[in-house]
Amino acid sequence: MGKVILRLMQLVCISLILSCSDKKLLPSQKNFVCDDCLTFKTYILNNWALDSAGYFHFKNAPVCEGPDYVKTGFRYTGLMGHKCFKGQTVDSIIYYLGQPSVKINNRFDYYMNAKCQGKARGDKPNIPGCIRLQVYFDEDKKVVGVGGMTRE
């Protein structure tokens, strides 16, 4: 099961990297390092928040986020999270992201909207309209991938 999840996350991350590889930075962003893990982790610590209703959100978009991104930090976190959180422990993820909305097998889900509530079907990620950040772990409870999912 863990190897299947790992392979699926690898495929998702490869497709994300390929889709973002030709992204053009704005002139003011040319000197900013988007792929630096220290910058990413600082961004998460300063911008990932839990609102009063119990949903997670990004307070600000990443500085390096271009106009082709939705201004939430969601894609940036999915892409950089795989690189920067890979191999981290469960405790490390809780330090950066907080307690997850739900723990399912080898996955943490951080719900970002109300549509995530009450429709989960076990380990299946199909929740119509749900936007969430997901962190996947292997059998040793080490991060193998970070991503997000929404279903309409």
Per-residue burial over 68-102, b = 16 or more CB atoms within 10 Å of its CB, e = otherwise: ebeebbbbbbbbbbbebbeebeeeebeebbeebbe
The pTM assigned to this predicted structure is 0.71
Domain that holds residue 63: 2-21+29-149
145 band by pLDDT with thresholds 50, 70 and 90: very high
Sign of CA dihedral 115, 147, 26, 44: positive
Angle CA 55–142–82, to nearest 5 = 65
Task: Give the pLDDT confidence score for residue 138 in this predicted structure.
Answer: 95
| Cβ-contact 135, 76 below 8 angstroms | no
Count of structural domains within the chain: 1
103 band by pLDDT with thresholds 50, 70 and 90: very high
Structure-token pair, residue 74: 């969601």
Task: Give the pLDDT confidence score for residue 63 in this predicted structure.
Answer: 77
Mean pLDDT of 17-39: 53
Number of helices (H) and strands (E), helices first, in the chain?
4, 6
Task: Give the pLDDT confidence score for residue 124 in this predicted structure.
Answer: 56
70 band by pLDDT with thresholds 50, 70 and 90: low
**Span of 2-6, 9-13, 40-44, 56-60 with lowest mean pLDDT:** 9-13
Q: What mean pLDDT value characterizes the chain?
A: 75
Mean pLDDT of 70-74: 66
